[in-house]
Amino acid sequence: MLILRCPYCGVDAEETDLAPGGEAHLTRHGPGSDDAEFRDYLFQRRNPRGVHFERWRHAFGCGKWFHAARCTQTLEVFGTYSAQCSEPPEEIMTAIRTRRPDWEMPA
Amino acid sequence: MSSRLATGGRRIDRSKRLSFSFNGTKLTGFEGDTLASALLANGQDLVGRSFKYHRPRGIVAAGAEEPNALVALGQGDRMEPNQRATITELFDGLSARSQNHWPSLQFDIGAINARLSRFLPAGFYYKTFMQPRAAWKHLFEPVIRKSAGLGPAPTQGDPDRYEYFYAHTDVLVAGGGIAGLAAARAAAEAGARVLLVEQDSRFGGRSATDGVVIDGTDAEAWVAEQVAALSAMPNVDLRLRTMAAGVYDHGYVTLYERAGDRDPGAAPVRHRLWRVRAGRTVTATGAIERPISFAGNDRPGVMLASAVRDYIDLYAVSPGDRTVVVTATDDGYRTALAVRDAGLDVPAVLDTRPDPKGPLVDAVRARGIRVEAGRGIAKVRGTRRVTGVDICAQAGEGAVIEHVPCECVAMAGGWSPVVHLWSHCGGKLLWDETAHHFRPDPDRPPTGADGQGFAVTAGTASGPMDTGAALADAVEAGHRAAKALGHDKGAPRIPQADGTADGPPAAVWMMPHGAGPELRGKAFLDFQNDVKVSDVQLAAQEGYQSVEHTKRYTTLGMATDQGKLSNINGLAILSDSLGAPIPEVGTTTFRPPYTPISLGAVAGEARGSLFKPVRRTPIHDWHADAGAVWEPVGDWRRPYCYPKDEESHRDAVNREITATRSGVGLLDASTLGKIIVSGPDAAAFLDLTYTNMMSSLKVGRCRYGLMCTENGFLFDDGVVVRLSEDSFLCHTTSGGSDRVHAWMEEWLQTEWWDLKVWTSNVTEQFGQIAIVGPKARSVLERLGGMDLSAEALPFMAMAEGTLGGIGVRIFRISFSGELSYEIAVPAGRARALWDMLLAEGAADGITPYGTEALHVMRAEKGYIMIGDETDGTVIPQDLNLGWAVSKKKSDFIGKRAMERSALTDPDRKQLVGLETEDPALVLPDGAHAVSGQTNRFGQQETLGHVTSTYWSPTLNRSIAMALVSGGSRRMGETLDFSLEDGRIAKARVVDPVFLDKDGERQNV
């Protein structure tokens, strides 16, 4: 029963108010992509023990999608941010590095 | 035999006599008794039979850890099995029955299993009942289920009410013993909001019984003072009979409040499930005493030493005239003193330690009680209850030194902190080499969203077992919890406890240490699941190394008590057998709830009509009045058909279809999903979400569209209407509107956020009524207000206006192949329009029809239905809908997927129509077409399956649609379909459009 703050409406939302959307920052590979790219886009997901970027929707609230950076092992939340970006914003990266100095963004 | 003492009993009120029954026998007890203490007071020390061997079992404990005393409580619809007698408060009229025996508790046929125990070792079921396979289901399992088991399941619905309760607090304190009270007070005085919960009916835990003295006053007075002080504080809530059941992510805690158990039928709420968000959770859950593993340690009369004290002190119950104390700790001596103080006899204290010393040992010796050092029990004598013990040297193999007659054996194996709540959400444990138990590792707590630990342990739950250290720990815990949340008024005072700490306990995992197979095979670890020392040793011998595997193989700790007594002893035996240190073997996972909670509490109010909301259309009441047969469609209820008088459903459906095709029918289509998509980029967005081109649709026109997943599979369909240059109305399936709307939003918000598009789900804002059939136009024209001629409103066009004075939007679309108008109307006017249409159409025999008529008519026309013809693996091309998949668009969701070889394979299953050779035979839904060949598993090879199958009253024959491998190349072939009884039905592959292939009926 996680609590995540919706960055749109500012509400600290219970997990039951949220819908999970899996890994964040996937790059869509549409027509023109090769089979391997398309396969990875459609099916391959990271499942790290540690820092992870996820998509969530404030389903029983404002309805907005947002992103969350959190640790899957300790459940620490480094921050939530707009879904409308293709990589985590700097303040999120800073928050993660402060708490996890050894962590590196996976390629 | 156990009995009631003449005086004493801290909890009981002898002026209030209560009557209750056990196995139909009328007994009496006192207000303040538990069912367990009342049974013992009545001499009922045999309370059940064990799970596997049906051995006689008595009461072992006095609290939540009790493994044996499980009873079926209550009668009729309030009967509940497997209730622990030790935590069941006695009330007048209570009725309990013992479990797992036949024909009676005294004489149980199943006890033969005990004689056969050498043939029923660990993993017996896995090893024995392997072959023949069918016998498991029909022979072995039913017999095993009957003979091994707990109480019978209730057969009637639960009449009681249960509810959820939501609470937020700064500090939640779980446990109302002296540690919990001290922690709560420290946190509350620092200014934090505190909720303290105690599973028992009293505060104070064991302190009074154990003779604790705090700040110069006895524990009972000290506890009363704390409770009074806390009750007076506005920032504190105290709850009795409320157990912290589970601790979850980010400080979420569930509490289980037994609000009405003592008042069955009269209490407004029986159980309450609290859903708490706490800033910090202080686990002041105390400790549980460990039993000792010796032969016959499961005989009625063998109890935990602390429980013996409890029954004497709290309930004035003598467990028997003579109690032998067998101990590895100083604490066991407290029991010897308590027994002697009650005027009962202690023939011997058997201390496994070679040189017991200290104030408690001295006190016992001073009372003239015989203390035997380095001694243990070789074997308990007696069958239905203890008659005596054989004494041996603990260091030896069990040679009997002396037989001592007694009625009770008190086991004091040392104390283990209750670490469950700490562990539920990932708190880690340390093995304490001195105290021989696992205790919470304060450096590795469960962590919250801020990365800080959100649980703090307090008192004996932290590890220290002496009162002074436990109190200091508890005050510090309460203070720390409040401080972490910004509440701090300086270091609180720590109450001082009298007395010195007990000496270190011995680690006694097997008694005697060198016990041979004979004794090990009678030394029980898990009383409820009948797991013995020999079973764990066998598992280790057979190669089980992981504690989690051993648990499942032997069932150690898998009973309803979840190993509260057996856990540490079992681990120690396993670790010894494996030759690995205990911390390396580790513990099994602690999972919520701490003790079983009722399913009623979990369900709360979500029962009956509140279990799931039902969506009703604005015309629902009319359908109900017309006697509609309901069909659930998503969360909606739709009329399936409207039978008249004694008419069968099938006759009603046929009548509705014939009336519609020959005259005029009326359908409530309000459940259809309606999503408005608008904005400058609406057309571009719909080009991406539909497989076909929507940007080319003209204002005022309709187009049938398909939606696929990014994986290429068809998942929804419906008619799109262009309302204006930058506004579209997208119809979806009845069950799909929420899903489709969420899906559109997902793409807009997370992928194409540059598009200027707004979506709005207006499904419930509009009613929608389809008027269908050759006479539809005439009925509408008589209502007046709009030009509905073929020229003004051609097929696939939309018109706005008023009809009979009601503002409407009319779509000339058809799902039946007939002349058809779908009329959208504000939901509040839908019923008025429906009534008006019925009245106006009466002269034409206008006939309301339900979903089944709709289905048959669409199938007669070969129209697909999402969920019938699609199953998540079907692409539009499979359904001959390739025409609706744009080849011009550079991109749409699913386009890339459709380029994969598996999706372009010509042998994919494709939609065909079927005509059975016997026109009267309606194929079963889902029937498989078989080739007559067998596959490599020896099963019949299948070519495809039936997706829709109906009796067509229009064609006076059966029709069906099927997805068949390479179907479009099989026109005219006859396929074999296997029926449930093994017969084969032959059907010819035909065009799925059975009726009016040229569409002449709707082009009028």
Q: What is the pLDDT of residues B70-127, one digit of tens each?
A: 999 999 999 999 999 999 999 999 999 988 776 677 766 666 666 666 666 666 666 6
Residues B648 and B790 in one domain: yes
A contact test, residue of B749, B758, B887, B892 with most A CBs within 10 A: B749
pLDDT band at B588 (very low <50, low <70, confident <90, very high): confident
CATH number of A3-99: 3.30.2270.10
**Within a domain: residue B168?**
yes
Contact B745 A1 (CB under 8 A): no
Question: Of the given ranges (A92-106, B125-139, B774-788), which has the lowest mean pLDDT?
Answer: B125-139
Query: pLDDT at position B131, please?
Result: 63
Residues B361 and B485 in one domain: no
Contact A3 B449 (CB under 8 A): yes
Residues B97 and B12 in one domain: yes
Contact B749 A64 (CB under 8 A): yes
**Facing residue for A31 by CB, picked from B449, B711, B890:** B890
Integer Cα distance of B45 and B384 in angstroms: 9
Chain A contact set for B753 (CB, 8 A): 83-84
Chain B contact set for A76 (CB, 8 A): 447-451
**Facing residue for A83 by CB, picked from B248, B425, B750:** B750
Chain B contact set for A75 (CB, 8 A): 249-250, 425-426, 447-449
| Residue B864 exposed, middle or buried by CB count within 10 Å (0-12, 13-18, 19+) | buried
Residues B174 and B274 in one domain: yes
Query: pLDDT at position A63, please?
Result: 95
**Within a domain: residue B13?**
yes
Integer Cα distance of B95 and B990 in angstroms: 69
Query: Considering only alpha carbons, which residue of chain A is nearest residue B900?
Result: A35
Structural domain that includes position B582: 508-598
Query: pLDDT at position B302, please?
Result: 98
Contact B711 A42 (CB under 8 A): yes
Contact A42 B450 (CB under 8 A): no
Domain count, chain B: 7
**Facing residue for B896 by CB, picked from A33, A59, A74:** A33
DSSP 8-class letter at B307: H
Residues B752 and B681 in one domain: yes
Please compute the mean of the pLDDT values over residues B548-572 and round it to a whole number: 91
Contact A31 B899 (CB under 8 A): yes
Residues recorded for chain B: 1004
Question: Of the given ranges (B402-411, B492-501, B946-955), which has the lowest mean pLDDT?
Answer: B492-501
Integer Cα distance of B224 and B932 in angstroms: 83
If one compares B547 and B859, the residue with the highest pLDDT of the two is: B859
Q: Give the count of alpha carbons within 13 A of B419, CB side only.
A: 29
Integer Cα distance of B556 and B526 in angstroms: 6
Residues B397 and B315 in one domain: yes
Please compute the mean of the pLDDT values over residues B598-607 and round it to a whole number: 95
Query: pLDDT at position B525, please?
Result: 95
- pLDDT tens digits, one per residue of A39-68: 999 999 999 999 999 999 999 999 999 999
Contact A29 B449 (CB under 8 A): no
| Residue where one domain finishes, among candidates B725, B740, B764 | B764
Residues B458 and B490 in one domain: yes
Query: pLDDT at position B536, please?
Result: 93
Q: Using an 8 Å Cβ cutoff, are B262 and B345 in contact?
A: no
- pLDDT tens digits, one per residue of A4-43: 999 999 999 999 999 999 999 999 999 999 999 999 999 9
Q: Using an 8 Å Cβ cutoff, are B292 and B523 in contact?
A: no
Distance from the A89 Cα atom to the nearest Cα atom in chain B, whole angstroms: 15
Residues B647 and B594 in one domain: no
**Within a domain: residue B79?**
yes
Query: Considering only alpha carbons, which residue of chain A is nearest residue B889?
Result: A31
Chain A contact set for B903 (CB, 8 A): none
Chain B contact set for A31 (CB, 8 A): 890-891, 895-896, 899
Instruction: Find the CATH number of the domain harbouring B92.
Output: 3.10.20.440
The candidate with the shortest Cα–Cα distance to B797, out of B810, B787, B778, is: B810
DSSP per-residue codes, A5-18: E-TTT--EEEGGG-
Contact B895 A84 (CB under 8 A): no
pLDDT at B500 over 90: no
pLDDT band at B558 (very low <50, low <70, confident <90, very high): confident
Q: Say if B751 is an interface residue toward chain A (CB within 8 Å).
A: yes
| Residue B978 exposed, middle or buried by CB count within 10 Å (0-12, 13-18, 19+) | middle
What are the C-alpha distances in Å from B354 to residues A106, B329, B960?
Answer: 60, 12, 86
Q: Mean pLDDT in chain B? A: 94
Query: pLDDT at position B918, please?
Result: 97
Contact A21 B710 (CB under 8 A): no
Q: Domain ranges for chain A, please list them.
A: 3-99
B 753-782 near A (Cβ less than 8 A): 753
Q: Which two tokens stand for residue B485?
A: 């949340």
Query: Considering only alpha carbons, which residue of chain A is nearest residue B276?
Result: A1
Query: pLDDT at position B103, please?
Result: 63
Q: Look up residue B85 and give its amino acid.
A: A
Q: Say if B168 is an interface residue toward chain A (CB within 8 Å).
A: no
Distance from the A24 Cα atom to the nearest Cα atom in chain B, whole angstroms: 9
Query: pLDDT at position B924, please?
Result: 96
Q: Say which residues have a Cβ less than 8 Å from residue B152's Cβ, sequence separation at least 6.
A: B72, B81, B99
Query: Considering only alpha carbons, which residue of chain A is nearest residue B753?
Result: A84
Contact B751 A31 (CB under 8 A): no
**Facing residue for A30 by CB, picked from B746, B895, B900:** B895
pLDDT band at B38 (very low <50, low <70, confident <90, very high): very high
Query: pLDDT at position B238, please?
Result: 98
- pLDDT tens digits, one per residue of B362-391: 999 999 999 999 999 999 999 889 999 999
How big is the CA angle at B127 (ends B126 and B133), to the nearest 5 degrees?
70
| Residue where one domain finishes, among candidates B369, B397, B413 | B413
Q: Using an 8 Å Cβ cutoff, are B682 and B728 in contact?
A: yes
Query: Considering only alpha carbons, which residue of chain A is nearest residue B254?
Result: A1
Integer Cα distance of B249 and A14 in angstroms: 10
Integer Cα distance of B743 and B907 in angstroms: 31
pLDDT at B670 over 70: yes
Distance from the A31 Cα atom to the nearest Cα atom in chain B, whole angstroms: 5
Integer Cα distance of B718 and B727 in angstroms: 16
Question: Of the given ranges (B135-149, B283-297, B310-324, B867-881), which has the lowest mean pLDDT?
Answer: B135-149
pLDDT at B146 over 70: no
Residues B974 and B928 in one domain: yes
Query: Considering only alpha carbons, which residue of chain B is nearest residue A67?
Result: B750
Q: Which two tokens stand for residue B348?
A: 């011997």
Q: Say if B746 is an interface residue toward chain A (CB within 8 Å).
A: yes
B contact test, residue of A1, A4, A96 with most B CBs within 10 A: A1
Query: pLDDT at position B905, please?
Result: 94
**Within a domain: residue B864?**
no
Integer Cα distance of B934 and B941 in angstroms: 5
Query: Considering only alpha carbons, which residue of chain B is nearest residue A100?
Result: B451
Contact A65 B750 (CB under 8 A): yes
Q: Using an 8 Å Cβ cutoff, are B152 and B72 in contact?
A: yes
Q: Say if B749 is an interface residue toward chain A (CB within 8 Å).
A: yes
Residues B295 and B390 in one domain: yes
B 250-279 near A (Cβ less than 8 A): 250, 252, 277
pLDDT at B148 over 60: no
Residues B488 and B530 in one domain: no
Query: pLDDT at position B100, please?
Result: 73
